[in-house]
Amino acid sequence: MFFERIEWNPRVCNGKPVIRGTRIPLGIILEQIAHGVSWEQLLRDYPELTRDDIQATLFFARANIEHADIREVH
- pLDDT digit string, tens, across residues 41-55: 999 999 999 999 999
Is 20 in contact with 6 (CB distance < 8 Å)?
Answer: yes
**Between the CA of residue 18 and those of 60, 71, 73, 74, what are the distances in Å?**
11, 26, 28, 32
Class of domain 2-66: mainly alpha
Of 17, 74, 28, 58, the C-alpha closest to 66 is 58
Q: What SS3 state is found at 4?
A: helix
Residue extents of the structural domains in the chain: 2-66
> The whole model's pTM is what?
0.84
- Please tell me which residue, 29 or 69, carries the higher pLDDT value: 29
- How many Cα atoms occupy the beta-carbon half-sphere of 71 within 13 Å? 2
Q: pLDDT digit string (tens) for 6-63?
A: 998 888 888 899 999 999 999 999 999 999 999 999 999 999 999 999 999 999 999 8
